[in-house]
Amino acid sequence: MSPRYDVVGIGNAIVDVIFAASDEFLLTHKIAKGAMMLVDEFRAGTLLEGIKDARETSGGSAGNTMAGLASLGGKGLFIGKVKDDRLGLGFATELQSIGCDFRTAMAKNGPSTAYCAIAVTPDGQRSMSTYLGACRELRSEDIDLDAIAASRFIYIEGYLWDAEESKAAIRKAIAAAKKAGAKVAMTLSDAFCVGRFREEFLKLMESDIDVLFANEDEAKSLFETDDFDTALQKARAWKGLMAITRSAKGCVIADASGEVHVLDAERIAKVVDTTGAGDQFAAGFLFGLSRDKSLRDCGRLGAIAAAEVISHFGARPETSLSTLAAKAGVG
């Protein structure tokens, strides 16, 4: 029997609240221009009250990847924690509307749904204030063992490693995937995350991770080198499959045999917003793997998805990725 899901994604469930703002607004609310900062619940609530005409969209790294998978025609389920509040209900409704299953039990008490307030100033800079809230409440009991047993891949967001309860949930998911014969994929999330948990990530790579996604900085941090070629050689020596994105330089894929595939980035007229590029690359790549495509085609699908998302504001596709892939001959 064919698996019910191509990918079960597990990550932080965050709602993006995107709004136009003046430099005066940033000063008033003490927001660092062009940066991302974490805020507490009180400050988050105060900020929300001051925002007018915002566009709300489901976000979070793994959630974005699952949206890309759905746009390609893949079948996925997302596991992440929200509260039973307005933002949480909107998160669930939007994911389901784009064809991604979401049925993680919503929290009835505790912190409100996580959100990232993204202030876009007239010069195009994005200044982000992130309240992690309920997404840090993911627990082992939230892991859907039946869904994992019915999937080809599970996909883990590295950011989850910041909370002990979430870490326990991930270990439970990995054990279930291994038992069911599903492959385990993981994204390193960012270089600072790698710096905090390098030894634990390397330990996971020894026996638990089959597919690893990283950008160039994350790969260098993982292997503790300033030289990309050195990082690549260490990736080649690993027994798993590693895809390393290099922005305008495209991507490099090292497989278990030590073979290396180098692919160019897709050309676009203008880069508008690079937010979500890595998330969408992972979506295309995982979709390709779930369809047993060659590694070059997997990388091409990832590049197509990344190119689409950096051509507009926002971290999720606005054009059908399945249509774009078909036009490129890799659908």
Nearest to 278 by CA among 218, 204, 208: 218
- What are the sequence ranges of the domains in the chain? 5-13+60-111+133-187+265-327
**pTM for the whole thing?**
0.92
At residue 210's C-alpha, the angle toward residues 224 and 181, to 5°, is 160
C-alpha–C-alpha distance, residues 66 and 104, integer Å = 15
Strand partners for 244: 214, 252
- Give how far Cα 1 sits from Cα of 100, 148, 259, Å: 21, 15, 32
Query: Residue 16 corresponds to which tokens in the numbers above?
Result: 């993006």
Instruction: Quick: pLDDT tens for 90-136.
Output: 999 999 999 999 999 999 999 999 998 888 888 867 788 989 999 99
Q: Tokens 């990082």 — which residue?
A: 231
Instruction: Quick: pLDDT tens for 7-35.
Output: 999 999 999 888 888 999 999 988 988 77
C-alpha–C-alpha distance, residues 164 and 161, integer Å = 7
Instruction: Quick: pLDDT tens for 33-85.
Output: 877 788 998 888 888 888 888 888 888 999 999 999 999 999 999 999 999 99
Domain at 5-13+60-111+133-187+265-327, CATH from 3.40.50.300, 3.40.1190.20, 1.10.10.60, 3.30.200.20: 3.40.1190.20
